[in-house]
Amino acid sequence: MGTRIRVGIIGLNPGIHWAAMAHIPALAALPDDYEVVGVANTSLASAQRAAEAFSLPHAFENSQALVESPEVDLVVVTVKVPHHHALVSAALNAGKHVYCEWPLGNGLAEARALAALAEARGVVTAVGTQMRVAPEIEHLRQLIADGYVGEVLSTTLVGSGGQWGGRTDAAHAYLDDVRNGATLLSIPLGHTLAGFFDVLGGFGSLSARLINRRTRTSITDTGATIDKTTPDQVLVHGTLERGAAFSIHYRGGLSRADSNLLWEINGTEGDIQVTGASGHAQLEQLTIRGARGTETALTELMPPAEAYADWPDSPVARNVARMYALLARDIREGTRLAPGFGDAVALHEALEAIERSAAADTRDAP
C-alpha cells in the first residue's frame, strides 16, 4: 500500500469524546493506510494526556505546531464548530490535507471561504458527512436507482435530535446558543440530509419554519439554567429536484416512540421505510424495510453481509472508517471519492435555503 498517511488530530481526548469513539477506532481499522502520529488540544498538558492514552509519539504544544509539523500529512479537526474556520485555514495554509468534522464552517460564508482556500492550495479535503458512505445508504441508493419503488412520488422524514430538549450538561451547553452554528438544523438534520440527497436528489422548492418551543435549558451537572436561542423544531416541505413531494420534521430531545428516526419513500411500485434509534442517522445502525407490487407487509431489505465485512462493528466507527478509506485513495491516487469541501458548501447552501425561507415566513406572519 506504500507509505502510511501520517495523521495529526486536533481535539482528541480519552473517554466519551467524538475523536476517541469514532476517529481512533476508524483509523485503527485501516493500518495499511494511516498512522496517527500526534495530537494538539487546548493545552500542552491535555495533549500529553491524550498522547499517553493512545500511545502517540507527539503531543504538540498547540494546533499551529501540529499543522506546521513535517511529521503530519493529514490534519483532522474534531473540535467545536466556532473553531473550524481558524484551525482549518491554518492547516490549509500549511499545505496539509484536511479532514474536518461537519459542519465545515459556522455558516455558509465560512464554508465557502474554506473551500476556496483548499482549492487554491491544491490539497485533498474531506468533510465528515459519513452518512453518505454508510452501507445502508449505499444500498438504499441502489434500490431506488434500480426502481424498487418505481417512480418516487413522495418522501417523509421525521427525526429526534437528542439534544435541544430542555436538558443538557455543561459540555454540550454551547449547542443551545444559535451563534455557535451547532444546531438541530445543522448537525443531526444536516448530517441526515447528506445521505437523503444522495438517495433522492436535492431540494427543488421549499417552505420552512424554525420554531423554538423551549426557551430555557437546565444544565444537569451544575444546576444552572440558561437561555436557549436555537430552534428545537425544524419543519420543511416542498418538492425535490426530480419532482417528488417531501416533508421533514426534526425535533429536539427524544421521543418515547419505538423509533427516533423514520424515513419513508413512497413510489408508484412500492414503499421503503428506514428507521434508526436517533435522528443522527450518521451514528446509527439503520434498518431498511420495504414492500412492492402485490406485497402487503414490509420485509427487511438490508445490505448483504459482505457489505459489513472487515469494517468496525459499531456504526459510529464503521462509517468514519469508510470515509477514511475513500480519503486515502483520494490522497494517493488523485481521485475525489470522499465528500470534500465543495460538497460541504452545497450542503451548507441547502441549510441556508431553509433558514431564508423560515426567516421570510416569520416576517410575513400576521
Rounded CA-CA distance 360/297 in Å is: 42
User: Which residue among 254, 281, 303 closes a domain?
Assistant: 303
The CATH number of the domain where 83 resides is what?
Answer: 3.40.50.720
User: Looking at the DSSP assignment, which residues form a beta bridge with residue 39?
Assistant: 9, 59
Task: Specify whether 70 is located in the same domain as 141.
Answer: no
User: Which residue among 255, 281, 303 closes a domain?
Assistant: 303
Task: Specify whether 123 is located in the same domain as 141.
Answer: no
Task: Specify whether 232 is located in the same domain as 180.
Answer: yes
**How many domains are there within the chain?**
2
Rounded CA-CA distance 223/225 in Å is: 7
Residue 347 within any structural domain of the chain: no
Residue 362 within any structural domain of the chain: no
Can you say whether residue 253 is alpha, beta or left, with left for phi > 0 and alpha for psi between -120 and 50 degrees?
Answer: left
Residue 269 structural domain:
132-303
Residue 363 within any structural domain of the chain: no
DSSP letter for 175, please. Answer: G
Tell me the pLDDT of the chain averaged across its residues: 96
Task: Specify whether 13 is located in the same domain as 109.
Answer: yes
In sequence order, which ranges of 10-83 are alpha helices (DSSP H)?
18, 24-28, 44-53, 63-68
The CATH number of the domain where 190 resides is what?
Answer: 3.30.360.10
Task: Specify whether 177 is located in the same domain as 282.
Answer: yes
Predicted local confidence at residue 363, as pLDDT: 58
Residue 319 within any structural domain of the chain: yes
Task: Specify whether 283 is located in the same domain as 137.
Answer: yes
Predicted local confidence at residue 2, as pLDDT: 60
Predicted local confidence at residue 366, as pLDDT: 45
Instruction: Give yes or no for a contact between 261 and 279, defined as CB atoms under 8 angstroms apart.
Output: yes
Task: Specify whether 138 is located in the same domain as 126.
Answer: no
Cα torsion through 329, 331, 333, 337, rounded to 10: 50
Residue 280 exposed, middle or buried by CB count within 10 Å (0-12, 13-18, 19+): buried
Task: Specify whether 93 is located in the same domain as 171.
Answer: no
DSSP letter for 180, please. Answer: G
Residue 359 within any structural domain of the chain: no
Predicted local confidence at residue 361, as pLDDT: 73
Task: Specify whether 70 is located in the same domain as 164.
Answer: no
Residue 106 within any structural domain of the chain: yes
Instruction: Give yes or no for a contact between 71 and 7, defined as CB atoms under 8 angstroms apart.
Output: no
Tell me the per-residue pLDDT of 136-180, one tens digit each, with 9 for 90 and over: 999 999 999 999 999 999 999 999 999 999 999 998 999 999 999
Residue ranges for the chain with pLDDT beneath 50 = 1, 366
pTM: 0.95
Task: Specify whether 147 is located in the same domain as 289.
Answer: yes
Residue 358 within any structural domain of the chain: no
Predicted local confidence at residue 1, as pLDDT: 42
Task: Specify whether 72 is located in the same domain as 12.
Answer: yes
Helices (H) and strands (E) in the chain, counts: 10, 17
Task: Specify whether 178 is located in the same domain as 230.
Answer: yes
Predicted local confidence at residue 362, as pLDDT: 66
Residue 169 within any structural domain of the chain: yes
Predicted local confidence at residue 364, as pLDDT: 55
